[in-house]
Structure 1
Amino acid sequence: MHINAFRRWLWAGAALCAATAPFAHAATAPATAPAAADDQSTSAGQTGQANDSQSLTTADIVVIGSAAAQSAPLVASLTTTQPQAVISRSFIDNANAGADFNELIALTPGVSISGTGNGQGFSETKAVIRGFQDGEYNVTYDSIPFADTNNPTHHSTAFFPSNTIETVVVDRGPGNASQLGQATYGGNLNMYSRAVAEQFGGQLQMLYGSWNSLMGRFEIQSGRIEHLGGARMVFAGQYLKSQGALSFSPVQSKNLFFKMVLPIGANHTLTAMSTWNRNYYYQSDSLKGSTCGSALKGVSGFSNAALDANGNLLTQLTANNCAAGTNGAVYGRDYGLGGDATKQDYWAYNRTDKTTDFSYLRLQSVLGSGLSLDNRLYMYGYSNNTMSGNSGTVVTGFNTATLPYTKLTNSNILGYNKLNKYRVLGYIGQLTYDFWLGKIRAGGWYEHSNTWRHTWDLDRTTGLPSYNENAYLGTAATAAYPGISLANIKYEQNSGWNQFQLFGEFEFRPFDSLSITPGVKYVHFTRSVNALVNQTTRAPADMQATWTKTLPFLTVNWQASRNWSFYGQYAQGMYVPDLSSFYSTSATLAQSLADLQPMTTTNYQIGTVWHGRRVSLDLDGYIINVNNKLGTCTTVGCDTSLTINIGQVRYKGVEGQVAVMPLDGLSLFVNGSYNYAQSVTTGAQIAKAPFTTAAIGFVYARHGLRVSYNQKYTGVQFANEYNGNPNYRLYRLSPYSVGEFAISQEFGKNFRLGLTVSNVFDNRAITSISTSSSGAPTVTVGGVTYQNGYGQGDQFSFLPPRQFMVDARFTF
Structure 2
Amino acid sequence: MTKLHFRAALLAASSLLTVAIPVHAAETAADTATSADAAASDDQSTTANQAGQANDKQSLTSSDIIVTGSHTAEVAPVTASLTTTQPQAAVSREFIDNANAASDFNELIAITPSVSISGTANGAGFGETKATIRGFQDGDYNVTYDSIPFADTNNPTHHSTAFFPSTTIETVVVDRGPGNASQLGQATYGGNINMYSRAAKDERGGQVEALLGNWNTFIGRFELQSGKIASLGDAKLVVTGQFLRSDGALTNSPVNSKNLYAKLVVPIGTANTLTVMSTWNRNFYYQSDVNKGATCGTGGTALAAGTQLSADACTAASNIGMYGGNYGLGNDPTKQDYWLYNRTDKTTDFSYVRLQSELGSGLSMDNRAYMYGYTNNTLSGNTGQTVTGFSGSGTSASPYVATKGPVSDVLGYHKLNKYRVLGYIGQLNYEFSMGKVRLGGWYEKADTDRHLIDFDWTTGRAPAYIEKFAPVTATATLPDISLANIAYLQHSTWNQYQLFGEFEFRPVDNLSITPGVKYVHFTRTIDGPVNQKSRTPIDTRGTWAKTLPFATINWQPVSNWSFYAQYAQGMYVPDLSSFYTASGTATDQAVQTQNLSLLQPQTSTNYQVGTVWHGSKVSVDVDAYMIDVNNKIASDTSVGAPANALVNIGRVKYKGAEGQVSYMPVRGLTLFGNASYNYAHTRSASVDAQTAKAPFSTAAAGFFYNRDGLRISFSQKYTGPQYATEYAGSGPRSYRIRPYSTGEFAISQEISERFRIGATVSNLFNSRAITAISNGKTYGVDDQFSFLPPRSFMVDARVKI
**Range into which the TM-score falls when normalised by the shorter chain:** over 0.9
Cα displacement (A) at 1:30: 7.9
1:323 aligns with 2:315: yes
Paired residue for 2:34? 24
How far, CA to CA, are the matches of 1:797 and 1:713 in structure 2?
Answer: 17
Which of 643, 651, 654 is the matching residue for 1:651? 654
Paired residue for 2:640? 637
Paired residue for 1:207? 211
Paired residue for 2:774? 770
How far, CA to CA, are the matches of 1:807 and 1:515 in structure 2?
Answer: 46
How far, CA to CA, are the matches of 2:85 and 2:34 in structure 1?
Answer: 17
Q: 2:478–2:537: 8 Å Cα contact kept in structure 1?
A: no
1:688 aligns with 2:693: yes
1:282 aligns with 2:286: yes
Cα displacement (A) at 1:325: 1.4
How far, CA to CA, are the matches of 2:478 and 2:228 in structure 1?
Answer: 64
Once the two structures are superposed, residues 275-300 of structure 1 have per-residue CA deviations (whole angstroms, 9 ceiling, x without a partner) of: 0000000001001100001278897x
Q: 2:308–2:734: 8 Å Cα contact kept in structure 1?
A: no
Q: Kindly provide the amino acid, as one letter, of the partner of residue 451 in structure 2.
A: H
Q: 2:370–2:423: 8 Å Cα contact kept in structure 1?
A: yes
1:421 aligns with 2:412: no
Which of 417, 436, 454 is the matching residue for 2:433? 436
How far, CA to CA, are the matches of 1:352 and 1:423 in structure 2?
Answer: 19
Which of 49, 53, 59 is the matching residue for 1:41? 49
Q: 1:110–1:693: 8 Å Cα contact kept in structure 2?
A: yes
Paired residue for 1:701? 706
Q: Kindly provide the amino acid, as one letter, of the partner of residue 28 in structure 2.
A: A
How far, CA to CA, are the matches of 1:20 and 1:556 in structure 2?
Answer: 20
1:800 aligns with 2:761: no
Quickly say closer, same or farther: Cα 1:744–1:549, change in 2 above 3 A: same
1:528 aligns with 2:507: no
Paired residue for 2:381? 389
Cα displacement (A) at 1:588: 3.5
How far, CA to CA, are the matches of 1:772 and 1:28 in structure 2?
Answer: 63
Q: 1:38–1:90: 8 Å Cα contact kept in structure 2?
A: no
Taking structure 2 as the reference length, the TM-score comes to: 0.94
Q: 2:46–2:68: 8 Å Cα contact kept in structure 1?
A: no
Paired residue for 2:371? 379
How far, CA to CA, are the matches of 1:360 and 1:16 in structure 2?
Answer: 21
Q: Counterparts of 1:160-559 in structure 2 under 5 Å?
A: 160-294=164-298, 313=306, 315-401=307-393, 402-410=398-406, 411-461=408-458, 462-474=460-472, 476-477=473-474, 480-559=477-556
Quickly say closer, same or farther: Cα 1:586–1:298, change in 2 above 3 A: closer
Cα displacement (A) at 1:6: 9.3
How far, CA to CA, are the matches of 1:32 and 1:665 in structure 2?
Answer: 18
How far, CA to CA, are the matches of 1:22 and 1:39 in structure 2?
Answer: 14
Q: What is the SS of the residue equivalent to 2:337?
A: coil
How far, CA to CA, are the matches of 1:43 and 1:671 in structure 2?
Answer: 18
Q: 1:101–1:156: 8 Å Cα contact kept in structure 2?
A: yes
Paired residue for 1:563? 560
Quickly say closer, same or farther: Cα 1:236–1:28, change in 2 above 3 A: farther
Q: What is the SS of the residue equivalent to 1:634?
A: coil
Q: What is the SS of the residue equivalent to 2:323?
A: helix
Paired residue for 1:579? 576
1:9 aligns with 2:6: no
Quickly say closer, same or farther: Cα 1:445–1:96, change in 2 above 3 A: same
Q: 1:40–1:90: 8 Å Cα contact kept in structure 2?
A: no
Cα displacement (A) at 1:592: 2.3
Q: 1:23–1:512: 8 Å Cα contact kept in structure 2?
A: no
Q: 2:177–2:189: 8 Å Cα contact kept in structure 1?
A: yes
Once the two structures are superposed, residues 378-436 of structure 1 have per-residue CA deviations (whole angstroms, 9 ceiling, x without a partner) of: 00000000000011111111122532422332231011000000000000000000011
Paired residue for 1:810? 799
Q: Counterparts of 1:61-210 in structure 2 under 5 Å?
A: 61-210=65-214
Quickly say closer, same or farther: Cα 1:576–1:44, change in 2 above 3 A: closer
Cα displacement (A) at 1:479: 5.0
Q: 2:390–2:403: 8 Å Cα contact kept in structure 1?
A: yes
Q: 2:46–2:67: 8 Å Cα contact kept in structure 1?
A: no
1:760 aligns with 2:757: no
Q: What is the SS of the residue equivalent to 1:68?
A: helix
Q: What is the SS of the residue equivalent to 2:590?
A: coil
Q: How many residues align?
A: 775
How far, CA to CA, are the matches of 1:296 and 1:653 in structure 2?
Answer: 41
Cα displacement (A) at 1:460: 1.5
Unaligned residue ranges in structure 2 (runs of 5+): 1-6, 17-22, 582-587
Q: 1:12–1:43: 8 Å Cα contact kept in structure 2?
A: no
How far, CA to CA, are the matches of 2:663 and 2:619 in structure 1?
Answer: 6
Q: 2:9–2:30: 8 Å Cα contact kept in structure 1?
A: no
Q: Counterparts of 1:703-742 in structure 2 under 5 Å?
A: 703-726=708-731, 728-742=732-746
Q: Kindly provide the amino acid, as one letter, of the partner of residue 366 in structure 2.
A: D
Once the two structures are superposed, residues 114-136 of structure 1 have per-residue CA deviations (whole angstroms, 9 ceiling, x without a partner) of: 00000011000000000000000
Paired residue for 2:585? none
Q: Kindly provide the amino acid, as one letter, of the partner of residue 472 in structure 1.
A: A
Cα displacement (A) at 1:472: 2.3
Quickly say closer, same or farther: Cα 1:227–1:673, change in 2 above 3 A: same
Quickly say closer, same or farther: Cα 1:8–1:692, change in 2 above 3 A: same
Paired residue for 1:308? none
How far, CA to CA, are the matches of 1:256 and 1:601 in structure 2?
Answer: 38
Quickly say closer, same or farther: Cα 1:801–1:5, change in 2 above 3 A: farther
Q: 2:52–2:63: 8 Å Cα contact kept in structure 1?
A: no
How far, CA to CA, are the matches of 2:112 and 2:94 in structure 1?
Answer: 16
How far, CA to CA, are the matches of 2:691 and 2:39 in structure 1?
Answer: 44
Q: What is the SS of the residue equivalent to 1:247?
A: coil
Q: 2:714–2:743: 8 Å Cα contact kept in structure 1?
A: yes
Once the two structures are superposed, residues 431-486 of structure 1 have per-residue CA deviations (whole angstroms, 9 ceiling, x without a partner) of: 00001110000010000000000000110121111100001233x14753211100
Q: 1:240–1:252: 8 Å Cα contact kept in structure 2?
A: yes
Unaligned residue ranges in structure 1 (runs of 5+): 300-304, 306-311, 777-789
Q: 1:8–1:41: 8 Å Cα contact kept in structure 2?
A: no
RMSD: 2.3
Q: 2:144–2:195: 8 Å Cα contact kept in structure 1?
A: yes
Quickly say closer, same or farther: Cα 1:55–1:572, change in 2 above 3 A: same
Quickly say closer, same or farther: Cα 1:463–1:806, change in 2 above 3 A: same
